Structure 1
Amino acid sequence: MLTEGLAQVHAQARVPAPAPASLDEAGGGVLQLGGRWTADQAPSVEAAAARIAASGARADVTVDLGAVERLDTLGAWVLERTRAEVEAAGGRLAYARVRPEHRTLLGEVTMRGAAPPPPRRLSPPIALLDGLGRQTASAGRQFVVATAFLGEVVAACGRVALRPGSFRGTALVNQLQQMALNGAPIIVLISFLVGGIVAQQGIFQLQRFGAQTFVVNLIGLLILRELGVLLTAIMVAGRSGSAITAEIGSMRMREEVDALKVMGLDATEILIVPRILALMIGLPMLTLIGDLAALAGGGLTAMVYGGLTLDQFLARLQAAVGVHHVTVGLIKAPFMALIIGLIATIEGFAVEGSAESLGRHVTASVVKSIFMVIVLDGLFAVFFAAIDF
């Protein structure tokens, strides 16, 4: 038994220890690696990597891996990290005599890359300016994207006009039903209530001067020129704009848009043109219906709180407003519809493959659409005031 134990001890003593990572200079800018570049030889791996980095700074170096006994993930990551350090210092590092398995491992490490360093903390004023600059640059990029997208839509409309047989009239009618017909009840209700509220508050303020009859002028001009189309556009942006983004985003998640492209179909003509045309046709119709509902609500309130009769209200309204006031609101509607449709479709096509992305882009679609509708209404107000219309 003692003899057998001594034999095993001698046998174990004859097993050589793992060779540490080594580095030899072969001349001519060639570094010869050897030994085991593995996790159990981490100290020697780091020491050899430091020598490679020192030799390769601001020079061209070739690393020969032909004598490397074994290479694992740690050794490959250290080599790639060293190569990045050499290139960052202005040098160049290339590999020679790389075994296929080692090349695969080095490629995998390169694909994954190292974790980026944590961002440097900025002082609050600098952080504020940095955020403002980033938002401004992002807004500029989004404006360029929207302009390019508008060009694609116009080009698609041109192709449809040249080939009327390719126009999908059924899709347009379906979208009109979804956006205009099904949305009319909520537009009528909201407009009626808002018209009544505006008239009530106007009467309470004008009664102080004995001029409550001028509430007809107030609600007539305010609703027909500004409030009617603005309120309708906001409702359409929240209802139809979000639906467009959700529909296109869901198609993106299920790769239906890619399937259309594979089948040789134009996604812009099929998905975007019918929806934008339906918005541009439906929003003026809803605006007119909303104007009538708001005037009805305002007239009812004026008769209840202001003591006006129906004949007095109608006569005063006819004297206060004209056809051009109605035209002002209707002129704005198609442009607002175009803005809503563009933003909704852009956000829909930006959806990625997660429900979180879909919800984020639907929210962005509604917020951006409402913001741009208000901005556009302000620009039109300045324009019509400048031309005295």
Structure 2
Amino acid sequence: MKPAPNDHADVSLPATSSAAEPPRIELSGSWSVLKLGGIEGRLDALQRPAAGAAVVDGQRIDALDSAGAWLLLRLLRRLREGGGVVTLLGLSPPFAKLLDVVAQPARQGAPRAEAGAAPAPKALERLGRRVAPVLEEGLALLAFVGELAVAFATCVLQPRRWRWRPILFNIRSAGVDALPIVALLSFLLGVVVAYQGAPQLRQYGANIFVADLVGVSMLREFAPLITAIIIAGRSGSAYAAQIGTMAVTEEIDAMRTLGIEPMEMLALPKLVALAVALPLLTVFADVAGVFGGMLMARSQLGVGYVEFLDRLVKAVEPSTYGVGLAKAPVFALIIVVIGCFQGFRTRGGADSVGRQTTRSVVQSIFLVIVADALFSVAFSVLDL
């Protein structure tokens, strides 16, 4: 009659062992998390045989899970501490495979533990570690721009796919709601430009040229740039936070499951809306900035409103106004692409949303300024 299997794990060192044979440790029972009982204490109390080699017999093990495999590995490691050879025999193939899977992390960490502290990375290695994530993010950004272009072309070819309600909502939130802050900052910037130029113009008796200074600087450079920076901090961050929150809460995955394309639903309406709103905001910033400079010219240089406007019309050419206005759609594209891109890259929890939102604002402002510098170089070459 076959003996009933042992319900609990057991380990024993038989007393009968010849001098020529290595000591044999027999394992039996169920080595599972529910049946281990006090086996861990017995393993700690087990003394390693004095001989240089030992045999661990696992033939009578009835059950083995990851907890039991971990204890068995701990036993083998303890027996091998003296440098002797310990052989595991009789373990069934499924149990041996499980033991190998559990032992893999220990094997991977063993060379590091033996080698001690890793040497400090060299300068070239540190540079590579810093550049590699930047290159990866750049390639991902190019892929995102391609997906956005495909979505735009699809909606152009199939006009019924346009989502006009989100577009109008984003025009209101990014355009109309931003009018007060854009007007205030542009007005103050016009005041600053006129105030800083007033002493130099007064010194040479060229007070009337304050209209040239304010008009050209505001319409060509400051108005589109300050408007884009405001929108990058206000709307670009909102885009990243909104899409990032949806990514964390798996709403974007739910949209794909329902057959809704997230690029058409989330990114494309923002792009169209800001491409319409930012040029209009730039025109509004031009008016507010020139108005602030006109007030300062009246108070500091004694230049009347009529004289200022008359000189402004002569100083500002249509190309100057067009150059500033042409920058706005490009700035809008940068802000939307970066904000939505960082939002879609959000992974994890709330901390990731905040991190990606910060990145979107920093990268948007940086790229807007870079684009403005490139515009200045290009227009200078083209003599515009």
Q: Structure 2 counterpart of 1:213, which letter?
A: I
Gaps of 5+ in 2: 1-9, 14-23, 32-38, 78-89
Query: For each residue in 1:136-162, what CA deviation from the matched residue of structure 2 results, as whole angstroms up to 9, or x when unmatched?
Result: 332222221111111100100111112
1:322 aligns to what?
317
Number of residue-to-residue matches in the alignment: 334
Q: Does 1:18 align with 2:18?
A: no
Q: Is the partner of 2:269 in helix, strand or coil? A: helix
**Hey, what's the Cα distance between the residues in 2 that align with 1:278 and 1:345?**
14
Query: For each residue in 1:145-204, what CA deviation from the matched residue of structure 2 results, as whole angstroms up to 9, or x when unmatched?
Result: 111111100100111112111210111001100000111111011100111111101112
1:98-109 alignment runs, 5 A limit: 98-99=93-94, 103-104=97-98, 107=101
Is the Cα–Cα contact under 8 Å of residues 65 and 98 in structure 1 kept in the other structure? Answer: no
Pairing partner for 1:165 from 156, 160, 176: 160
**Which stretch shows the higher mean deviation, 188-197 or 139-148?**
139-148
1:295 aligns to what?
290
Query: For each residue in 1:75-113, what CA deviation from the matched residue of structure 2 results, as whole angstroms up to 9, or x when unmatched?
Result: 4656999xxxxxxxxxxxxx973345x655654665899
Is the Cα–Cα contact under 8 Å of residues 233 and 283 in structure 1 kept in the other structure? Answer: yes
CA RMSD of aligned residues (A): 3.6
Q: Structure 2 counterpart of 1:203, which letter?
A: A
Pairing partner for 2:350 from 346, 350, 355: 355
Q: Does 1:381 align with 2:376?
A: yes
Q: Structure 1 counterpart of 2:246, which letter?
A: M
Q: Structure 2 counterpart of 1:336, which letter?
A: F
Q: Structure 2 counterpart of 1:170, which letter?
A: R
1:122 aligns to what?
120
Pairing partner for 2:179 from 178, 181, 184: 184
Is the Cα–Cα contact under 8 Å of residues 33 and 67 in structure 1 kept in the other structure? Answer: no
Q: Structure 2 counterpart of 1:122, which letter?
A: A
Q: Does 1:370 align with 2:365?
A: yes
Query: For each residue in 1:217-249, what CA deviation from the matched residue of structure 2 results, as whole angstroms up to 9, or x when unmatched?
Result: 111111111111110000000000001111111
Query: For each residue in 1:249-296, what CA deviation from the matched residue of structure 2 results, as whole angstroms up to 9, or x when unmatched?
Result: 111122110100111111111111001111111111111111111011
2:246 aligns to what?
251
**Which stretch shows the higher mean deviation, 129-138 or 229-238?**
129-138
Cα 1:160–1:111 change in 2 (3 A) is farther
Q: Is the partner of 2:93 in helix, strand or coil? A: coil
Pairing partner for 2:192 from 193, 197, 217: 197
**Hey, what's the Cα distance between the residues in 2 that align with 1:243 and 1:145?**
21
**Hey, what's the Cα distance between the residues in 2 that align with 1:177 and 1:335?**
20
Q: Is the partner of 1:18 in helix, strand or coil? A: strand
Is the Cα–Cα contact under 8 Å of residues 70 and 102 in structure 2 kept in the other structure? Answer: no
1:1-389 alignment runs, 5 A limit: 18-19=11-12, 35=27, 41=43, 66=59, 72-75=68-71, 97-99=92-94, 103-104=97-98, 107=101, 110=104, 120=118, 122=120, 126=122, 130-389=125-384
**Which stretch shows the higher mean deviation, 196-205 or 114-123?**
114-123
- TM-score normalised over the length of structure 2: 0.76
**Hey, what's the Cα distance between the residues in 2 that align with 1:274 and 1:80?**
63
**Hey, what's the Cα distance between the residues in 1 that align with 2:282 and 2:120?**
49
Q: Structure 2 counterpart of 1:239, which letter?
A: R
**Hey, what's the Cα distance between the residues in 2 that align with 1:341 and 1:51?**
69
Query: For each residue in 1:302-358, what CA deviation from the matched residue of structure 2 results, as whole angstroms up to 9, or x when unmatched?
Result: 111111011111111111111111111111111111111111011111112311111
Cα 1:186–1:45 change in 2 (3 A) is farther
Cα 1:66–1:282 change in 2 (3 A) is farther
Is the Cα–Cα contact under 8 Å of residues 80 and 106 in structure 1 kept in the other structure? Answer: no
Cα 1:362–1:45 change in 2 (3 A) is farther
Is the Cα–Cα contact under 8 Å of residues 211 and 311 in structure 2 kept in the other structure? Answer: yes
Query: For each residue in 1:1-46, what CA deviation from the matched residue of structure 2 results, as whole angstroms up to 9, or x when unmatched?
Result: xxxxxxxxxxxxxxxx9336xxxxxxxxxxx996489855479999
**Hey, what's the Cα distance between the residues in 2 that align with 1:383 and 1:226?**
14
Q: Structure 2 counterpart of 1:362, which letter?
A: T
Is the Cα–Cα contact under 8 Å of residues 192 and 293 in structure 1 kept in the other structure? Answer: yes
Is the Cα–Cα contact under 8 Å of residues 69 and 102 in structure 2 kept in the other structure? Answer: no
**Which stretch shows the higher mean deviation, 302-311 or 202-211?**
202-211
**Hey, what's the Cα distance between the residues in 2 that align with 1:277 and 1:370?**
20
**Hey, what's the Cα distance between the residues in 2 that align with 1:210 and 1:78?**
91
2:85 aligns to what?
none
**Hey, what's the Cα distance between the residues in 2 that align with 1:119 and 1:273?**
50
Cα 1:109–1:322 change in 2 (3 A) is farther
Q: Structure 2 counterpart of 1:195, which letter?
A: G
**Hey, what's the Cα distance between the residues in 2 that align with 1:337 and 1:45?**
74
Query: For each residue in 1:335-387, what CA deviation from the matched residue of structure 2 results, as whole angstroms up to 9, or x when unmatched?
Result: 11111111101111111231111111111111110001001100111000011
Query: For each residue in 1:26-76, what CA deviation from the matched residue of structure 2 results, as whole angstroms up to 9, or x when unmatched?
Result: xxxxxx9964898554799999xx999xxxxxxxxxx99656688635446
Gaps of 5+ in 1: 1-16, 21-31, 53-62, 82-94
